[in-house]
Chain A
Amino acid sequence: MKLYADEPGHRAVRALERVVVSCLARVEVPAALWRKQRRRELGEGELRVLVAEFEADYFGTVVEAPRFLVTGIPPVVLDAAARLFASHALQAYDAIQLASARAVRDADPGCDTFACADLRLRAAAAAEGFEVLP
């Protein structure tokens, strides 16, 4: 989310060269932006700019490849997410995010940084051996 809001820690997140996101982001990012607009904390024009920026990152543009590598949610990730509840107090979607990150790290051990702000998810990610940003 810090790609789209000047919140504390945004510089560290924006400095990441490779960003892998779960396909859940396709829904969660616009949902959060719209929620902020409905709280009257974001103008409609700003909302549309940020949604467009996110979609350019997600889908790419005529001159740029997508910024994100997008992971799906195959059954193996759902199974791993279901098992995470035994060791971490997480919401269902949090568990999918963390299980996705673990699957990515299994595929590429260099992907060992997990960016999130939620305290419970941060603690769980750290316990799973991730470096947590910001």
Chain B
Amino acid sequence: MPQLTLRIPEPLGEELKSAARARGESLNRFATAVLRAAVDPAFAGDEAAVLRERLARAGLLAAPPRSVRARPSRKAVARARSAAGRGRALSRLVSEGRG
């Protein structure tokens, strides 16, 4: 994989590091995503990315710790959802948990 050395203003470098930290990403990974978005429209401007950026700028976006999980099989989830749909509603249990 080729390496690219850039000369950029110091404050921009700090902002890039800070933005990458806030997203829980390495500077390399974050900068790669930003550069890719600049040259490939397929990676830029989708609704989710726009919303993410707006929330980040508003100071609202939380960055959950990077902790990749395994998704259970669809069949198991369908069975469990069906079971969870019986009895007291989950939303009611949430309300009860709020006091």
**Interface residues in chain A, defined as those with a beta carbon under 8 Å from any beta carbon in chain B:** 1-2, 4-7, 10, 17-18, 20, 23, 26, 28-29, 31-33, 35-36, 39, 41-43, 45-47, 49-50, 52-53, 55-56, 58-62, 64, 66, 69-72, 74, 76-77, 91-94, 100, 103-104, 106-108, 110-111, 116-118
Contact = CB atoms under 8 A, between A and B. Distances in A.
B64 A32 contact: no
Contacts, number: 169
18 contacts: A1-B94, A4-B90, A5-B84, A7-B85, A23-B64, A28-B97, A31-B97, A41-B84, A41-B88, A42-B83, A49-B80, A59-B65, A59-B67, A91-B99, A106-B58, A108-B50, A116-B91, A117-B89
Given A7-B91, A42-B87, 15 more contacts: A4-B81, A5-B85, A17-B48, A18-B47, A18-B51, A20-B51, A36-B84, A36-B93, A49-B72, A60-B69, A70-B62, A91-B99, A92-B98, A100-B60, A103-B58
B69 A61 contact: yes
B73 to A, nearest CB: 8
B68 A59 contact: yes
A60 B91 contact: no
Contacts of A52: 69-72
Indicate the size class of the contact surface on chain B. 35 or more
A31 B65 CA distance: 20
Given A59-B69, A104-B55, A108-B54, A32 B93 contact: yes
